[in-house]
């Protein structure tokens, strides 16, 4: 079965209303746009359909960080409280489920590298559901920080957000454990402070303009925002797909109060491919070097210990983590170690395989795409380059 056939079959079974896939080997780029932008809708998916890319924001933020590192604006080993003094007084919970005032001192400061590797000592708690909520979870919720799923958005600007976050203790000592998502929220605030300008301007100047990524950003003109596909997620009670109502065009047609370095960007498959190709070419775009080979190597090499990979659970599923992205550390049924990339919770996924010179991107807006087996099937079939029958629109 070709990739086009497999994704069409899933669409016809009602798993998603439509999808845009891109598979590239060097200059051979094949794009397939299948279905529509909503269930029951008449607007077709197109090659230039714009998507909420969610956590695919993380590798973009990591690349911008390395650009600032190369310019000596940011130092990977620098304690984050040098740029974010609000965090200077943070301590660590004696027990992750304990009272907020039962804390111990940090053994060492949190560094910029800790934010990139998600080992800052704070992240999403993925243990089984607990009742009542642990005090630190309840406190974070009451502060309106939105540390997990990006919707509904936090109402706080970056300065207020970091001030509120600083009132929480860390969950673990810096460097001990991989914990998802919060590191890039903090990192986005830090990069804006370091550069002395909003995060969106940093990304545009350091990456989007040099790469020609004209539409990738934190918001869109209203007419373009209206073209965003409907977003769906499975109802835990019924298993039925339900449209999300808190991430519509009105949300994306104005600059956000808090630009999320974890999940805030929109993009198209071709624009994201430009970013992916720059990494595959070890920092070079169109003959111009945007990142050093060393920076790309740091980003795309596993930084975690075996124990940290094992304790990360299903979020990493046995993969390692570089800077802002997952990195495979063992061979699987399709590739050797060293494949890198990540996925976004709205239903977007990407990987590069440097051994195969392969870029693979699939964008839909159904979160279940990541868990239903569709993502795995896409990844496997991308290696056969089986999109020859795709529309290429």
CB atoms under 10 Å from CB of 114, counted, come to 23
Q: Which pLDDT score is estimated for 393?
A: 41
Asked if residue 243 is part of any domain, the answer here is: yes
Asked if residue 31 is part of any domain, the answer here is: yes
354: domain CATH number is 3.40.710.10
User: How many distinct structural domains can be found in the chain?
Assistant: 2
| pLDDT interval class at 126 (50, 70, 90) | low
Asked if residue 71 is part of any domain, the answer here is: no
Query: What's the pLDDT tens digit per position in 357-379?
Result: 999 999 999 999 999 999 999 99
Residues 202 and 191 occupy one common structural domain: no
3 membership: H or E segment, kind and range: helix 3-12
Residues 302 and 340 occupy one common structural domain: yes
Asked if residue 391 is part of any domain, the answer here is: no
For residues 387 and 21, the answer to whether their CB atoms sit within 8 Å is yes
Q: Looking at 161, 195, 229, which one is the last position of a domain?
A: 195
Asked if residue 393 is part of any domain, the answer here is: no
Q: Average per-residue pLDDT in the chain?
A: 95
CA dist., res. 123 & res. 136, Å (int): 11
131: domain CATH number is 1.20.58.710
Instruction: Determine the 3-state secondary structure of 116 from DSSP.
Output: helix
The candidate with the shortest Cα–Cα distance to 267, out of 199, 188, 207, is 207
Residues 150 and 135 occupy one common structural domain: yes
22 membership: H or E segment, kind and range: strand 18-25
Residues 26 and 84 occupy one common structural domain: no
Q: Which pLDDT score is estimated for 61?
A: 98
Residues 250 and 103 occupy one common structural domain: no
Packing angle of the helix pair 374-382, 3-12 (nearest 10 deg):
160
Residues 312 and 343 occupy one common structural domain: yes
Asked if residue 278 is part of any domain, the answer here is: yes
Q: Looking at 136, 161, 195, which one is the last position of a domain?
A: 195
Q: Looking at 170, 195, 220, which one is the last position of a domain?
A: 195
Residues 334 and 223 occupy one common structural domain: yes
Asked if residue 362 is part of any domain, the answer here is: yes
Query: What's the pLDDT tens digit per position in 305-359?
Result: 999 999 998 899 999 999 999 999 999 878 889 999 999 999 999 999 999 999 9
Residues 226 and 303 occupy one common structural domain: yes
Residue 125 predicted with pLDDT over 50: yes
Query: What's the pLDDT tens digit per position in 143-166?
Result: 999 999 899 999 999 999 999 999
Residue 391 predicted with pLDDT over 50: no
Residue 390 predicted with pLDDT over 70: no
Residues 216 and 189 occupy one common structural domain: no
Asked if residue 388 is part of any domain, the answer here is: no
Residue 131 CB-density burial (10 A; 0-12 exposed, 13-18 middle, 19+ buried)? exposed
Residues 120 and 50 occupy one common structural domain: no
Q: Which residue segment(s) compose the domain that 246 sits in?
A: 3-65+198-382
pTM: 0.96
Residues 129 and 164 occupy one common structural domain: yes
- DSSP code at position 175: T
Q: Which pLDDT score is estimated for 356?
A: 95
Residues 57 and 160 occupy one common structural domain: no
Residue 128 predicted with pLDDT over 70: no
């Amino acid at each position: 079965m070709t990739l086009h056939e497999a994704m069409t079959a899933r669409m016809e079974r009602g798993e998603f209303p439509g999808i845009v896939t891109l598979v590239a080997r060097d200059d051979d780029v094949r794009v397939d746009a299948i279905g529509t932008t909503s269930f029951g809708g008449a607007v077709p998916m197109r090659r230039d359909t714009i998507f909420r890319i969610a956590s695919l924001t993380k590798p973009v933020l990591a690349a911008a960080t390395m650009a600032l590192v190369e310019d000596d604006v940011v130092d990977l080993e620098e304690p984050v409280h040098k740029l974010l003094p609000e965090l200077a007084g943070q301590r660590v919970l004696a027990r992750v489920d304990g009272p907020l005032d039962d804390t111990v001192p940090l053994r060492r400061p949190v560094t910029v590298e800790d934010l990139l590797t998600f080992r800052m000592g704070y992240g999403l708690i993925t243990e089984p559901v607990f009742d009542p909520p642990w005090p630190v979870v309840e406190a974070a919720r009451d502060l309106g920080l939105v540390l997990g799923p990006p919707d509904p958005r936090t109402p706080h600007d970056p300065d207020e957000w970091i001030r509120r976050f600083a009132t929480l203790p860390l969950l673990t000592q810096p460097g001990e454990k991989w914990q998802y998502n919060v590191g890039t929220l903090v990192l986005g605030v830090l990069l804006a402070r370091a550069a002395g300008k909003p995060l969106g301007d940093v990304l545009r100047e350091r990456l989007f303009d040099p790469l020609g990524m004209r539409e990738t950003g934190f918001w869109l003109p209203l007419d373009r925002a209206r073209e965003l596909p409907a977003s769906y997620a499975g109802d835990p009670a019924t298993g039925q797909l339900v449209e999300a109502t808190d991430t519509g065009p009105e949300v994306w047609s104005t600059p956000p109060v808090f630009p999320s370095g974890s999940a805030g960007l929109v993009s198209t498959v071709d624009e994201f491919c430009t970013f992916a190709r720059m990494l595959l070419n070890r920092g070079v775009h169109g003959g111009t070097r945007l990142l050093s080979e060393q920076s790309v190597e740091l980003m795309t090499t596993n930084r975690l210990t075996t124990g940290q990979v094992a304790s990360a659970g299903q979020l990493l599923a046995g993969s390692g983590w570089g800077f802002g992205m997952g990195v495979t550390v063992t061979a699987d049924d399709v590739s050797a170690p060293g494949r890198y990339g990540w996925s976004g919770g709205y239903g977007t996924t990407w990987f590069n395989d440097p051994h195969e010179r392969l870029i693979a991107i699939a964008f839909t807006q159904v979160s279940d795409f990541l868990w239903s087996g569709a993502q795995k099937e896409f990844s496997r079939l991308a290696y056969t380059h089986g999109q020859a029958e795709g529309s290429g629109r």
